[in-house]
Amino acid sequence: MSEQEFRHIVRIAGKDVDGSKKLVVALSEIRGIGYNLAQLLLQQLNIDPNTRTGYVKEEDVANIEEALKDPTRVNIPVWYLNRRKDIETGKDI
């Protein structure tokens, strides 16, 4: 990969993350996403978690953001989520 493809700051899910960090570490810095969820999310999306964030393609960033909006879409179990039940109805979100 050439130097011009590297981005020093990447915006993922409304947060600027450092492009020099591994993707799994950068995702875990986003509020509500822990290391284990980030690891599982990248595994489900077939993205290498050890890739530097600055080298991630825009389409992969879009896939990550879509998966963060609805993690069950990429087959992440309901029990893996932080807030899995609605406060009023008690049903899974």
Give, in order, the Cα–Cα distances in Å from 39 to each of 46, 76, 91. 11, 11, 26
pLDDT in tens, 55-90: 999 999 999 999 998 888 888 887 777 666 677 777
pLDDT band at 37 (very low <50, low <70, confident <90, very high): very high
Q: Are 7 and 13 in contact (CB under 8 A)?
A: no
pLDDT band at 93 (very low <50, low <70, confident <90, very high): low
pLDDT in tens, 45-57: 999 999 999 999 9
Q: Are 78 and 84 in contact (CB under 8 A)?
A: yes
For the chain, what are the domain ranges? Answer: 3-80
Fold observed for domain 3-80: Helicase, Ruva Protein; domain 3 (1.10.8)
